[in-house]
C-alpha cells in the first residue's frame, strides 16, 4: 500500500465552487483534496461564529486548515504606525486561526526599504513579532505564525531570513513558497532535486523536525523579471518554472510530511495535478 504523507489543497475557494465557504471542506474531500488555505489577503473579515463552523467542517472532513494573512503587512517599516497596523492585521489573523483550528498563519514579513541592512530589517521583524506573541500568547493555543519565503528581491524573506525569524520567535514555523524562491533568484534556484533537498535539510537542522512535520509549502509556476516575482502561472505552461516533479521527489526522498497549497490560477485543479504527479512518483 502506497502512503502519501503530503496533503494538497487550494489557496481559497475552489475554482468552480459556488456557495458558502463552510461547505468547501466537504467539496475538497469529494474531489480528493485535504488542505485549505483560507485567504484573508484583503483583510480578516470572517466572524467568530463562521470561523468556528468552518473549523468544525474541516475537522469532520479531515481537511487541514491554514490562513493567509493580509498582504499589507510590513514589520520592517521605518514607520512605527505601519508596524502597529501590520501587527493588528496579524493579530486578527491569529484569532481567526484560533477559532478555525488552523495550524498556520502565513504572512509576508516586510520590505528592506528604509533599513541600513537586510539584517536590520530582519531584526525589526523579529522584535515586532516577539512583542505580538508576548501580548497574545495566553489567548492562542493552536496556530503558529508562518513567515513565507517571498518572491521579490525588495522583500524580507529568503530561506536564511525566514529561518532566522523562526529561530528567534515563539510559535513560528516556516512557509516555503518554491515559486517565490525560483523567482527571487531569476530562475537560478529550485532547478533540481538537490536544491530542494538543501532547503529542507537546512530547515530541519536549524529549526528541528517539528518545522518539517509538516512542512508548510506553496506551489505554482511563476513568471519573473529583474526584481523577482511577476505573476503566478499554471503547471501546464511549459515556458515557466519551477517543476513540481523535483519538489515532490525531494519530499518523497526525505520522507517529510508536507502541506502543499496551490497558488496556481487554477487552484484546486493544479492541486489535484500535483497530487497525481506525486502518486505516480511514489509508485515508480
Binding site for Zn ion (CB under 5 A): 177, 218
Least CB distance to Zn ion at residue 3 (A): 27
Least CB distance to Zn ion at residue 2 (A): 28
Least CB distance to Zn ion at residue 263 (A): 5
Specify whether the CB–CB gap between 35 and 68 falls below 8 A: no
| Beta strand ranges found along 43-178 (DSSP E) | 64-68, 104-107, 110-111, 144-147, 155-156, 175-177
Backbone angles phi, psi at 257, to 5 degrees: -95, 150
Cα-based distances in Å from 145 to 60, 71, 169, 203, 284? 24, 14, 9, 16, 36
- By C-beta, is 180 or 249 nearer to Zn ion? 180
Least CB distance to Zn ion at residue 65 (A): 16
Least CB distance to Zn ion at residue 276 (A): 21
- By C-beta, is 132 or 175 nearer to Zn ion? 175
- Say how far apart CA 164 and CA 190 lie, in whole Å: 21
| 3-state secondary structure (DSSP) of residue 275 | helix
* Residues ≥6 apart with Cβ < 8 Å to 180: 148, 149, 150, 151, 157, 218, 222, 228, 229
Least CB distance to Zn ion at residue 177 (A): 4
Least CB distance to Zn ion at residue 63 (A): 19
- Say how far apart CA 55 and CA 15 lie, in whole Å: 21
- By C-beta, is 71 or 210 nearer to Zn ion? 71
DSSP 172: B
Q: Specify which residues 221 forms β-bridges with.
A: 233
Q: Taking CB positions, which residue lies at the least distance from Zn ion?
A: 218
C-alpha cell at 60: 469532520
Amino acid at each position: 500500500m502506497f502512503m502519501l504523507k503530503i496533503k494538497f489543497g487550494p489557496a481559497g475557494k475552489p475554482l468552480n465552487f459556488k456557495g458558502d465557504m463552510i461547505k468547501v471542506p466537504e467539496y475538497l474531500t469529494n474531489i480528493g483534496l485535504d488542505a485549505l488555505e483560507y485567504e484573508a489577503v484583503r483583510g480578516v473579515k470572517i466572524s467568530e461564529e463562521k470561523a468556528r463552523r468552518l473549523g468544525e467542517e474541516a475537522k469532520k472532513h479531515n481537511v487541514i486548515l491554514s490562513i493567509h494573512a493580509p498582504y499589507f503587512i510590513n514589520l520592517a517599516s521605518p514607520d512605527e504606525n505601519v508596524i502597529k497596523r501590520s501587527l493588528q492585521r496579524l493579530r486578527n489573523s491569529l484569532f481567526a486561526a484560533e477559532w478555525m483550528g488552523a495550524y498556520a498563519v502565513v504572512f509576508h514579513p516586510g520590505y528592506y526599504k528604509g533599513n541600513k541592512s537586510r539584517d536590520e530589517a530582519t531584526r525589526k521583524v523579529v522584535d515586532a513579532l516577539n512583542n505580538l506573541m508576548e501580548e497574545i500568547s495566553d489567548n492562542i493555543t493552536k496556530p503558529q505564525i508562518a513567515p513565507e519565503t517571498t518572491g521579490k528581491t525588495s522583500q524580507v524573506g529568503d530561506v536564511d531570513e525566514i529561518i532566522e525569524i523562526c529561530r528567534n520567535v515563539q510559535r513560528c514555523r516556516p512557509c516555503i513558497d518554491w515559486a517565490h524562491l525560483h523567482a527571487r533568484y531569476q530562475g537560478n534556484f529550485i532547478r533540481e532535486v538537490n536544491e530542494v533537498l538543501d532547503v529542507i535539510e537546512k530547515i530541519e537542522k536549524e529549526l528541528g523536525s517539528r518545522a518539517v512535520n509538516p512542512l508548510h509549502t506553496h506551489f505554482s509556476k511563476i513568471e519573473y523579471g529583474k526584481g523577482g516575482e511577476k505573476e503566478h502561472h499554471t503547471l501546464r505552461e511549459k515556458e515557466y518554472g519551477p517543476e513540481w516533479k523535483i519538489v515532490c521527489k525531494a519530499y518523497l526522498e526525505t520522507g517529510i510530511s508536507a502541506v502543499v497549497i496551490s497558488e496556481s490560477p487554477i487552484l484546486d485543479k493544479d492541486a489535484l495535478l500535483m497530487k497525481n504527479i506525486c502518486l505516480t512518483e511514489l509508485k515508480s
